[in-house]
Amino acid sequence: MNRSAVWHPFTQHALEPPMKRIAATDGAYLIEEDGNRVLDGISSWWVITHGHRHPAIMQAIRTATEAFDQIIFAEYSHEPAERLAEGLIGRAPSGLKHVFYSDSGSTSVEVALKMALGCFHNLGDPRDRIVVMEASYHGDTIGTMSTGERGVFNAAYEPLLFGVDRVPFPETGREQQTLDAFETLCRSGRIAALVIEPLVLGAGGMKIYDAGVLAALREIAARHGCLFIADEVMTGWGRTGTLFACEQANISPDILCTSKGLTGGAVPLAATLCTSDIFDAHLSTDRRKTFFHSSSYTANPIACAAAVANLQIWHDETVIERIKNLQALHRQNLERFAGDGRFADIRQAGTIAALDLVVPAGGYLADVGPRLRRLFRERGFLIRPLGNVVYLMPPYCVTADELSRAYDAISEVASIVLARP
């Protein structure tokens, strides 16, 4: 086989075999070119919600292509973008009144950071510091790498990154340390915004914390005039059990970032929602106060049409019931690992379940990670551990039998790996 010219993401090509090709997708499955069906246990990097190729979303895309391709969004608007903005504002936490479109989770957070800093700059308020939580991941642009955890992901790019202030992850029993650290930082009067993954830190290891901490952080931010940015790129669209994770803390952020499941995972699109106060801080007859951000594909009409169809699915179908059923199935399957010495920190947040394989060396670069992934693939499962952290985040169409077989595979593969470290 000739070596492909394609450079794949998060892939060390010196260690990986040539990539298999996917010929089609169907529901909870990826279909390889030789016909093998692989259960998509991680929703193709957390984007597929209802299942691959949901008919309503596919039809919306086909219909949109009959009228649209890309339209310059600095000069015109279009119906799919307007309908989507209205729908998002109607379903998002209260107080969010404006929608800025981009094309990925990273850019949605980058937009949020620029909104926050631009807001205070335009108001003449010298707030220029961003606060983040340790172990966070917010994307791979320069701004979002700066706000993420420093380490192997971004060590080579350190000269490009700006400094941020960090609060500790709220480990069980030590939540007050996180709140106290944030309170102390806010007293400086320099903090423009806290950017946070609500309830679950994704790439940081599927670390889960209590909704009460989220609510307390929101209260501190509001009291000190600090903007609260909810990075719901992964946690949104039902992953934690509600449409947006913020709902479980009964809070409304000043800025909310969404992508991944926004189109049901069908095509790339992102949105950054904000309050009227933030929009108004950029509203001026002085053109220097313009929000200077864009991409060539802002508000792509075909992608917006897919997202409108996704919103309609949430309205028409029993999505929340499917999510509740999936939550229950996770709980039932996780019970088999209670007291199992092979695993530690068995945890769940909504449709996300995770457990740590007990090995001498953990972490993202743990040698066990690639081996686990290969063993899962050999058994027909796309399960991509974060080092020794094994997690499942399947599409909502997954059946009880399919999920049970995925847990069977986790048990079997763990035994193989631990028998031959």
* 166-213 per-position pLDDT tens digit: 999 999 999 999 999 999 999 999 999 999 999 999 999 999 999 999
Contact 403, 328 (CB under 8 A): no
pTM for the structure as a whole? 0.97
Cβ of 118: how many Cβ atoms within 10 Å? 19
Residue 239 in 3-state DSSP? coil
The CATH number of the structural domain formed by 318-419 is 3.90.1150.10
Contact 245, 198 (CB under 8 A): yes
CA distance 300 to 69: 7
CA distance 186 to 220: 8
CA distance 358 to 349: 21
* 136-175 per-position pLDDT tens digit: 999 999 999 999 999 888 999 999 999 999 999 999 999 9
Q: Is the pLDDT of residue 214 over 80?
A: yes
* 404-414 per-position pLDDT tens digit: 999 999 999 99
- What pLDDT shows up at residue 366? 83
CA distance 197 to 248: 13
Domain boundaries, the chain: 57-316, 318-419
Q: Which of 357, 362, 361, 363 is nearest to 344 (CA)?
A: 357
How would residue 84 be classed by pLDDT, with cut points 50, 70 and 90? very high
The mean predicted confidence, pLDDT, of the chain is: 97
Does residue 291 come out as left (phi exceeding 0), alpha (psi in the -120 to 50 range) or beta?
Answer: beta
Q: Which of 311, 350, 344 is nearest to 327 (CA)?
A: 350
Cβ contacts of residue 26 below 8 Å, gap of 6+? 37, 52, 53
Q: Which of 165, 171, 162 is nearest to 185 (CA)?
A: 165
Helices first, then strands: H and E counts in the chain = 12, 16
Contact 177, 168 (CB under 8 A): yes
Question: Going by DSSP bridges, is the β-strand pair 381-382/37-40 parallel, antiparallel, or unpaired?
Answer: parallel
* 4-23 per-position pLDDT tens digit: 999 999 999 999 999 999 99
The CATH number of the structural domain formed by 57-316 is 3.40.640.10
* 339-394 per-position pLDDT tens digit: 999 999 999 999 999 999 999 988 888 889 999 999 999 999 999 999 999 999 99
Write the DSSP string, 327-393: HHHHHHHHGGGTT-TTEEEEEEETTEEEEEE--SS-STT-THHHHHHHHHHHTTEE---BTTEEEE-
- What pLDDT shows up at residue 362? 82
What mean pLDDT comes out for the span 221-234? 98
CA distance 349 to 245: 10
Q: Which of 421, 241, 215, 212 is nearest to 321 (CA)?
A: 241
Q: How wide is the angle at C-alpha 237 spanned by C-alphas 235 and 240, nearest 5°?
A: 45
Q: Is the pLDDT of residue 333 over 90?
A: yes
